Amino acid sequence: MKAVYNHHHSLHQGKSEFFRGAQVPAFERADRADHVLAEWQRRKLGEVVAPKDHGLAPILAVHSQRYIDFLQTAWLRWVALDPGNAPRDAFPSVWAIRTLRDDVLPDSFAAQLGLFSMDSGTPLTAGSWQAAKTGADCALTAADLVLAGARTAFALTRPPGHHAGADFLGGYCFVNHAAVAAQHLRGKGASRVAVLDVDYHHGNGTQSIFYDRADVLYVSIHGDPKTEFPFYLGHADETGAGAGAGCNLNLPLPAGTSASRWFEALELALAKVRAFAPEVLVLSLGVDTFEGDPISHFKLTSVDYLRMSERLAALGLPTVIVFEGGYAIEEIGVNTANALMAFA
């Protein structure tokens, strides 16, 4: 298998995030990708290739023009507000929540940042756009490899993507790589694409982008949003809308869920994917389901990722794998490589 590696990932280096009123060191760190790459090379899982520039069109196929316009210039505008801002990441301080208008774009940078954000946990930095744009190119290049006949390709990128919606950032995500890849596969002739999301957190962005569509299935196993981020989406009664009715499956599990219970949910997810009969699978691979993850609460062990890999590969589908979350830095390389093992 080839890994399409984002050589620009470390241009995004969030310093901190907010937790209970305090600024704490960011969990989504640059060395996450370094550890995965090191383990990939240690196990000789395959060639590491550079992404091809796909321009903006495939990103604009799933994100709004106004949001991408904002992302491209956001850092320069943040610093233009006050040169003293340069050492600090940008965070929103105001939001266009219910009853407030989100259809009129304010001139104020602070107001735009809030309009285009779902949380205050996602530091926007000097290189966030470039890292996320290159991440999309990784996912697109991996999709191209699969379209050209590769069984599997791995987009090794950060920051992650599955929380980013058509019109907003959040949950450490700016551009939704899995959605960009799924849409690209559709445009290049795959008639049905399934996205399976095994990150600990519900991929609210991916779900919402495809919610009313019958051509892209979204299936997710995740921490119950009643207690876990992203809180406001990911419930079991979200099954799709309009033409997309029945093309969304959420399998929320309580914090503290064991590996055996998680694997039961995986079988339900796999059955749904099989019944949809997609031509291609996009796998949103987060390893924050690990028992040692510092922000998540499932109980998977490192060897469980080998079993996960076997069950996923048994689908027998051409698969584009996109790296998402996972914050246990010491084990992230081993866990991710284990999850890829049956594909390699």
- Catalytic residue numbers read 163
Report the distance separating Cα 35 and Cα 116, nearest Å.
31
Q: How many Å apart are CA 174 and CA 328, to the nearest integer?
A: 21
Partner interacting with residue 304 (select from Zn ion, ligand SP5, none; CB below 5-8 Å by kind): none
Among 17, 119, 137, 288, binds Zn ion (CB under 5 A): 288
Using CB under 6 A as the binding criterion, the count of chain residues that bind ligand SP5 stands at 16
Q: Is 201 in the site for ligand SP5 (CB under 6 A)?
A: yes
- Pairing label, strands 22-25, 319-323: unpaired
d(CA 180, CA 187): 11
Q: Is 51 in the site for ligand SP5 (CB under 6 A)?
A: no
95 belongs to the binding site for ligand SP5 (CB under 6 A): no
Instruction: From 83-91, 147-155, 169-177, 308-316, give the range in contact with ligand SP5 by CB under 6 A.
Output: 169-177
Contact between 37 and ligand SP5 per CB under 6 A: no
**Hey, what are 150's tokens?**
């590769």
The pattern of x and - marking residues 202 through 241 that bind ligand SP5 according to CB under 6 A reads: ---------------------------x------------
Among residues 14, 46, 160, 244, the one that binds ligand SP5 under rule CB under 6 A:
160
Give residues with Cβ within 8 angstroms of 3, minimum separation 6: 37, 40, 45, 46, 47, 48, 49, 153, 154, 155, 156
Token duo for residue 17:
């995030």
Binding mask 111-150 toward ligand SP5 (x if CB under 6 A, else -) reads ----------x-----------------------------
Tell me how far, at minimum, the Cβ of 310 lies from Zn ion, in Å.
22
The one-letter amino acid code at 40 reads W
Which residues contact residue 46 at a Cβ distance below 8 angstroms, ignoring those fewer than 6 apart? 1, 2, 3, 40, 344
Of 158 and 186, the one with the shorter C-beta distance to ligand SP5 is: 158
| 200 near Zn ion (CB under 5 A) | yes
CA-to-CA separations, 77 to 55, 73, 90, 107, 110, in angstroms, rounded: 23, 6, 10, 11, 10
Asked if 205 interacts with Zn ion (CB under 5 A), we say no
Q: Is 45 or 295 the residue whose CB approaches ligand SP5 more closely?
A: 295
Contacts of 159 by beta carbon, 8 Å cutoff, 6+ apart: 9, 12, 14, 28, 128, 131, 132, 135, 172, 173, 174
Residues at the interface with Zn ion (CB under 5 A): 199-201, 286, 288, 325
Interface ranges with ligand SP5 (CB under 6 A) = 19, 121, 160, 163, 171-173, 199, 201, 229, 286, 288, 294-295, 324-325
